[in-house]
């Protein structure tokens, strides 16, 4: 597993992390408040985020490719195509097999798919242009509850450890996945394999739980009281404020456009 962050000295990389965090949240908020079928607005939102990707010198492909991460979540919206608002249209798909769908529902599904895809892009851009510790500091400076910031930080720290653990377990299993000479029948039944995978997940969960106990004990023994050391709360510079205001006004304008053009 590798970090998303890519080192370079673009304008976007050097921006104050707080500006980027607020802008990202505002972006996702305005985009999700934009009504269904507001295609002109979606295109402008996409243009905005792709321009930012170009400015950050990550390249368009970097963000677009990774945004496919949103795909599995889009599946949750698929039923809308069939149970959307009336009128419903019936199609003859194949010799008597009929498919009923709602054009309005299809539009909503497409809107949700595009919105989530664009939202994931902006999150990826944030993560790829901001060092993770800077992101945590920014969250803290923006008065996100300290406990929450601590949880996010520790999760990040141990995610890599746990991924290593998963790799080693998978290796150990592969090492015992053998065949006998002259037999073509191997691999076990699907339900047995599912059981084994379930067992691995359970064992990983137990180990993570125990690890968390050990980590917490180690933190306590180094004087952890539940409070993270306070970070300096240097106010945003005037330039940063103006930049942020400009960005948010731009987002609000796109949203207004969406209100008028959407259905």
Partner 1 sequence: MNPIIEIDHLSFHYPDGKVALSEISLKVMPGEKIALVGANGAGKSTLLLHLNGIFEGSGQILIGGMEVEKKNLGLIRGQVGLVFQNPDDQLFSPTVYEDVAYGPIYQGLGEKVVREKVEQALAAVHMSDYAGRNPYHLSSGEKKRIAIATVLSMQPRILVLDEPTSGLDPRARRELIELLRELPQTMLIATHDLALAENLTPRTVVLDQGAIAADGPTAEILADESLLLAHGLS
Name the token pair of 149. Answer: 């910031």
| CA distance linking residue 129 with residue 56, whole number of Å | 7
Q: Which residues contact 66 (CB under 8 A, 6 or more apart)?
A: 4, 120, 124
Select 22 or 169, whichever has its Cβ closest to partner 1.
169
Is residue 24 within 8 Å of 123, Cβ to Cβ? yes
What are the two backbone dihedrals, phi and then psi, of residue 222, each rounded to the nearest 5 degrees?
A: -105, 15
Say whether residue 191 binds partner 1 (CB under 8 A): no
**DSSP count for the chain of H helices, then E strands:** 11, 2
C-alpha–C-alpha distance, residues 244 and 260, integer Å: 25
Identified binder of partner 1 from the candidate list 22, 44, 169, 219, rule CB under 8 A? 169
- By CB under 8 A, is residue 205 in contact with partner 1? no
* From 14-22, 62-70, 191-199, 237-245, span contacting partner 1 (CB under 8 A): 191-199
Q: Which of 202, 220, 249, 252 binds partner 1 (CB under 8 A)?
A: 202
Query: Measuring CA to CA, which residue among 120, 162, 132, 130 is closest to residue 1?
Result: 162
The residue range among 27-35, 90-98, 175-183, 222-230 that interacts with partner 1, by the rule CB under 8 A, is 175-183
Contacting partner 1 (CB under 8 A), which of 159, 196, 252, 259? 196
Point out which residues pair with 98 in neighbouring strands.
92
Rounded to whole angstroms, how far apart are CA atoms 107 and 85?
11
Nearer residue to partner 1 within complex by CB, 87 or 181: 181
Asked whether position 165 contacts partner 1 by CB under 8 A, the answer is yes
For partner 1, the binding residue among 7, 90, 98, 174 (CB under 8 A) is 174
Q: Give whichever of 134 and 165 is closer to partner 1, judged by the CB atom.
A: 165
185 binds partner 1 (CB under 8 A): yes
Give me the residues that bind partner 1 (CB under 8 A), please: 165, 168-169, 171-181, 183, 185-188, 192, 196, 199-200, 202-203, 206-207
């Amino acid at each position: 597993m590798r970090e998303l962050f890519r080192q370079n000295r673009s304008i976007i990389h050097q921006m104050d992390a707080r500006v980027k965090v607020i802008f990202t949240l505002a972006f996702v908020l305005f985009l999700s408040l934009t009504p269904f079928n507001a295609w002109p607005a979606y295109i402008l939102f996409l243009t905005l985020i792709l321009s930012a990707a170009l400015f950050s010198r990550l390249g368009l492909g970097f963000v677009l490719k990774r945004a496919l991460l949103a795909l599995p979540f889009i599946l949750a919206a698929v039923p809308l195509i069939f149970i959307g608002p009336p009128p419903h249209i019936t199609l003859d798909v194949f010799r008597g097999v009929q498919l009923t769908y709602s054009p309005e529902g299809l539009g909503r599904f497409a809107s949700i798919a595009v919105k989530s895809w664009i939202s994931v892009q902006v999150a990826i851009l944030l993560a790829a242009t901001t060092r993770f510790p800077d992101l945590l500091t920014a969250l803290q400076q923006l008065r996100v509850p300290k406990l929450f910031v601590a949880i996010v930080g520790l999760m990040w720290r141990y995610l890599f450890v746990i991924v290593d653990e998963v790799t080693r377990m998978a290796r150990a299993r592969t090492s015992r996945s053998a065949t006998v000479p002259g037999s073509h029948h191997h691999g076990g039944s699907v339900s047995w394999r599912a059981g084994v995978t379930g067992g691995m997940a359970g064992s990983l969960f137990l180990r993570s739980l125990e690890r968390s106990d050990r980590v917490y004990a180690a933190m306590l023994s180094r004087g952890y009281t539940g409070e993270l050391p306070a970070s300096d709360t240097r106010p945003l510079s005037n330039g940063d404020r103006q930049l942020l205001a400009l960005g948010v006004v731009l987002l609000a304008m796109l949203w207004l456009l969406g209100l008028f053009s959407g259905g």
